[in-house]
Structure 1
């Protein structure tokens, strides 16, 4: 086998690999000899089939295997000896493939872009500021008030009061289509919050203004896409009898409210809220710290970038932004989205930082554990209630999905590794200043 360099410009590499016909024939013969003891063929005892007959029967298939294994072996040996790591899968092409025949030498070309050498970085001179926010009484009280709203109850309005949007009415109803009652169209003592959108469009609006004791006929038309085919698009009349009208009442902030949310008492609930708020603040502060670190690294480190990675990233950025600007288009059946200089500049930053973090993680032997992956999968699976098991099995069989879940975990662990080596000072601020810092990140 002969390997000849044909291209070496920047990160671009090209090689021509020549495999002698005799070498391929030897590999085929070795495969035949290995298989011969187990081969059974009519007219011959097991393991006694002549090599010539085996070669006639299986030679072409084994020749294909030998060619592939030889090229794979040559590529692996090349990368091991050269130390190159391809940015993307190398492009391998057989020379004169249409004219090639058994007995000829085989020539293939291999081209790729090598990953660049990443310079060592001394992080001891990197200075970062970690924002720290404590959950004050005002923030805890605000969260408690929000919980009280979600735990609201309803109290009877005075006699003769008209129902308002947001009130709860308790009523009996009987629905009819063409004068005939239909299944599922009746209930007694049904509690309905007006304006909640619980019923079909146009229903709740007609009950605004009713009073306890009223009887009202509500005329509606079922949507054309309604789930029950026998009702879709049909006009209906609901005969309603109003039992009571209730106004929303915010729950009291007391021990009873705390128990509704699983806490022993109000003091315990305040403690839980404080911990949750500070965890949220810490998460937001980490995003600010991470962005500042990445900005610093982007300015601190410079090296050549594989053009193919930059182009692919710029295309992805342009495509994503196009869909954000055209949310009505849900598929990818549209014309090519042209990249701009801004897309390319952002792509260069992402590729540079991605390669740098990957190299830092490799040198530091950062790994994503099975437990961390399992937790990430479970967190994603919660978005599909009732289908958690199917989602888990899907991820287990999908390498690309696994990589999508593993990548952010790996990146965060590398960031932690770098932060540990940098000079970090804590700065205590209030939540409003933290919010401003986060908004500034989104505007950049």
Structure 2
């Protein structure tokens, strides 16, 4: 095997490889000898078929396998001999001259090809004591706890028919037909639908227009669908609903006491209250952690600058762009609707892809240096949680992940990332900052896109 490096520029390394015909012929001969001992060839006793005859029948097929194995072995040796930390699968350029290929398949000529590797950059991590960020925190108020308990009560609250007009908090049973420009639209019809006025279950403005309605009364409710409504053909459009109120029911009293708590499996109201507060605090802690992590990632993104493997960036960009294209087709929105152009959007998401790749490489380097690991038990526990999200299909989902290493890696990767973040949190300067509930729970619009590539 002859290997000549033809390019060494930044993260790109290219080689020309020549596999001598003699070496290929020797491997082919070895394969044919092995085949002769096993093959049952009509007209020949077992193990007595001439090699020349076997070569004529099976030579090209076997040589194709020989060439594939030789190429794989050559590529592995190049990586090992040159200590390359490859970023992704190499790009191979095979000869296009059919005559040259045929000669190689007949073991009568050398086989040459080019292979291009893109390697991971060397990252000088340094220390992390120069990173200082704020961690937003919020206290769970007694009012929020009582509101959560009240919401639990509403879930099991009973109603009784009433003769008076419907008021906020009452439950109405309605039939309705939605119309656009006077014509009914798909999905806009419902019958015997129970709706608690003031619950916010329907389109904004719908429930308020039914307050004061009596049993058997008919009303025309006029609303405008939100601009971000999930059905593109309805988003932002004015609509009318012909509504018939078939029944009006008022809420029964439901004392918030130990008996109420028992309906949710608690021995006392105090236990229920404690659990509700704990759940809210856990939600706040999760939100605080998410914001802390986002600030940390932003700091790392500013701290490190290095050449990125173009292949990884292109791969990440394609993943992001394909997701956005699918969402754009689903919503029916154009670039103009989003006040941008395709060129500007591509530039924006290219930068996001670069950020994700950069952060992914930095976190991987930090984790490797710190000896961060993820135990198989942790992956199994996470997989169990994933499986529980598919009731009735548990075995199918379990088998899919267990038989698909790449899918299982998608469960392991975020666990590894969180452990690296834990490692960093102990190394940086963190100051807690008290914020409002609304500030803490406010979501970042591009939070998912800003995450590292895993």
TM tier, smaller = 0.7 to 0.9
Give 2:251's aligned residue.
248
Give 1:60's aligned residue.
60
Write the deviation string for residues 48-83 of structure 1: whole angstroms up to 9, x where unpaired.
Answer: 444333333332222111111111001001111212
Superposition map of 1:118-197 within 5 A: 118-157=123-162, 160-161=163-164, 193=194
2:357 aligned with 1:351, yes or no? yes
> What is the SS of the residue equivalent to 2:160?
strand
Q: Distance in 1 between matches of 2:49 and 2:329?
A: 67
TM-score (norm 1): 0.74
Q: Distance in 2 between matches of 1:19 and 1:210?
A: 88
Write the deviation string for residues 104-136 of structure 1: whole angstroms up to 9, x where unpaired.
Answer: 100011123222112233124433443444433
| Superposed displacement of residue 408, structure 1 | 2.0
Q: Distance in 2 between matches of 1:169 and 1:353?
A: 53
Give 1:367's aligned residue.
373
The aligned length equals 381
- Does the aligned pair in 2 maintain the 1:165–1:194 contact within 8 Å? no
Range 415-424 or range 377-386, more displaced:
377-386
Classify 1:417/1:2 alpha carbon distance in 2 versus 1 (closer, same or farther; 3 Å). Answer: same
Q: Distance in 2 between matches of 1:14 and 1:114?
A: 11
Classify 1:110/1:439 alpha carbon distance in 2 versus 1 (closer, same or farther; 3 Å). Answer: closer
Write the deviation string for residues 145-183 of structure 1: whole angstroms up to 9, x where unpaired.
Answer: 2212222111353xx54677975689xxxxxxxxxxxxx
Q: Distance in 1 between matches of 2:248 and 2:91?
A: 74
Write the deviation string for residues 333-357 of structure 1: whole angstroms up to 9, x where unpaired.
Answer: xxx9545432222222111111111
Larger Cα Rg: Structure 1 or Structure 2? 1
Classify 1:142/1:420 alpha carbon distance in 2 versus 1 (closer, same or farther; 3 Å). Answer: same
Range 424-433 or range 280-289, more displaced:
424-433
Q: Distance in 2 between matches of 1:40 and 1:60?
A: 19
RMSD over aligned CA atoms reads 3.6
- Does the aligned pair in 2 maintain the 1:156–1:245 contact within 8 Å? yes
| Structure 1 unmatched ranges of 5 or more | 171-190, 198-204, 212-241, 331-335
Give 1:81's aligned residue.
81
Q: Distance in 2 between matches of 1:357 and 1:245?
A: 59
Q: Distance in 2 between matches of 1:137 and 1:249?
A: 25
TM-score (norm 2): 0.73
| Superposed displacement of residue 362, structure 1 | 3.1
Classify 1:95/1:414 alpha carbon distance in 2 versus 1 (closer, same or farther; 3 Å). Answer: same
Q: Distance in 1 between matches of 2:17 and 2:384?
A: 47
Give 2:261's aligned residue.
258
> What is the SS of the residue equivalent to 1:263?
coil
- Does the aligned pair in 2 maintain the 1:18–1:105 contact within 8 Å? yes
Q: Distance in 1 between matches of 2:354 and 2:295?
A: 18
